[in-house]
Amino acid sequence: MYKMELLYEGKAKKVYATDDPALLIVDYKDDATAFNGVKKGTIRGKGVINNRMSNRLMKRLEASGIPTHFVEELSERETLVKKVSIVPLEVIVRNISAGSFCKRYGVEEGIVFDEPTMEFSYKNDALNDPLICVPHILAMKLATREEIAQIERYALGVNEALREFWSGCGVTLVDFKLEFGRLPDGTIILADEISPDTCRLWDSATGKKLDKDRFRQDLGGVEDAYTEVMRRLTAHDHA
Ligand code: ADP
Ligand code: UDP
């Protein structure tokens, strides 16, 4: 598989064309940003961890019936994926209050919800990824009613599968963000990444944050937290 022209350089990854028009190569960087790019930094070794973690988790999700873009891990930082047209929504699932939920509603972090919640943001950096409701997704023609229903089913399925898996690693899955895309025939699959950049992960025993909040909140030990959560995944994942 040949890596061809750079199609897109984002905040965390570079995306390359390949000699197969249906496939892309994603290259994970160590760059970290928060607050829509206002805070910038480097988390050494992050790209390697996020690449491997995302691939492992997507393989598990495939096994539990959720289709993903994952094709093959090519190197420490590079993965071959199916090219999709991204549905411009950030799909956020929460099990416990944190982050923007606490800020928006003025509540403390750590409230365990009776049921998972789901919300959508319109993926648009210039607008700061605003929260968007289903009627507005339809009005904006970002996705059809059927696609939204499918995305919701998959997102809840991802939550069930990952919550159970992380729990076996002694890690609590607090919340996470997913992106979905359309294959040329219109099929919806899970794309982008699942990593400590896109999930909140807390040590189940101590509550210690093992994710990008350490970077966002200047808590220190960012690299160690990413390494620790990857170590636990590797120790537990015999798939
Ligand atoms: P951002 O665009 O938010 O800065 P990244 O640095 O992670 O994010 O860039 C990766 C880009 O690739 C994102 O825009 C994401 O939506 C897109 N992407 C992820 N998976 C796929 C895929 N399978 N096909 C096409 N685009 C994808
Ligand atoms: N998230 C993400 N990308 C974004 C926004 C959020 O990956 O652009 C993830 C974030 O890491 C967390 C979850 O989505 O796991 C919920 O984030 P929240 O809405 O609380 O926003 P934040 O506190 O990151 O502003």
Band of the pLDDT at 233, cuts 50, 70, 90? very high
Instruction: Indicate whether 234 belongs to any domain.
Output: no
Instruction: Indicate whether 96 belongs to any domain.
Output: yes
Q: Whose CA is nearest to atom 5 of ligand 2?
A: 177
Residue 101 CA, ligand 2 centroid: distance in Å: 10
Helix (H, G, I), strand (E, B) or coil at 209: strand
Q: Which of 51, 67, 82 is the last residue of a domain?
A: 82
47-51, 143-147, 234-238: range with lowest mean pLDDT = 234-238
Residues 128-137 have a mean pLDDT of 97
Residues 137-143 have a mean pLDDT of 98
198 lines ligand 2 (CB under 6 A): yes
Q: Are residues 117 and 197 in the same domain?
A: yes
Q: Are residues 41 and 94 in the same domain?
A: no
Q: Whose CA is nearest to atom 11 of ligand 2?
A: 198
Residue 114 CA, ligand 1 centroid: distance in Å: 32
Q: Which of 32, 53, 82 is the last residue of a domain?
A: 82
- Residue 19: the pLDDT is 96
- Residue 37: the pLDDT is 87
Instruction: Indicate whether 51 belongs to any domain.
Output: yes
Instruction: Indicate whether 237 belongs to any domain.
Output: no
Give me the CATH number covering residue 196: 3.30.470.20
State the residue range of the domain holding 142: 85-220
Cα distances from 158 to residues 5, 152, 194, 224, in angstroms, run: 32, 10, 10, 26
Give tens-digit pLDDT for 24-34: 999 999 999 99
Residues paired with 207 in a beta bridge = none
Residues paired with 118 in a beta bridge = 93
- Residue 239: the pLDDT is 53
The tally of domains found in the chain comes to 2
Rg (CA), the chain: 17
Q: Which atom of ligand 2 is nearest to the CA of 129?
A: 8
Instruction: Indicate whether 227 belongs to any domain.
Output: no
Q: Which of 216, 179, 180 is nearest to 197 (CA)?
A: 216
Tokens at residue 23, please?
A: 């496939």
Q: Are residues 93 and 205 in the same domain?
A: yes
Give tens-digit pLDDT for 199-221: 999 999 999 999 999 999 999 99
- Residue 36: the pLDDT is 86
Give tens-digit pLDDT for 74-116: 999 999 999 999 999 999 999 999 999 999 999 999 999 999 9
- Angle (nearest 5°) at CA 157 between 156 and 161: 120
Instruction: Indicate whether 204 belongs to any domain.
Output: yes
Give me the CATH number covering residue 7: 3.30.200.20
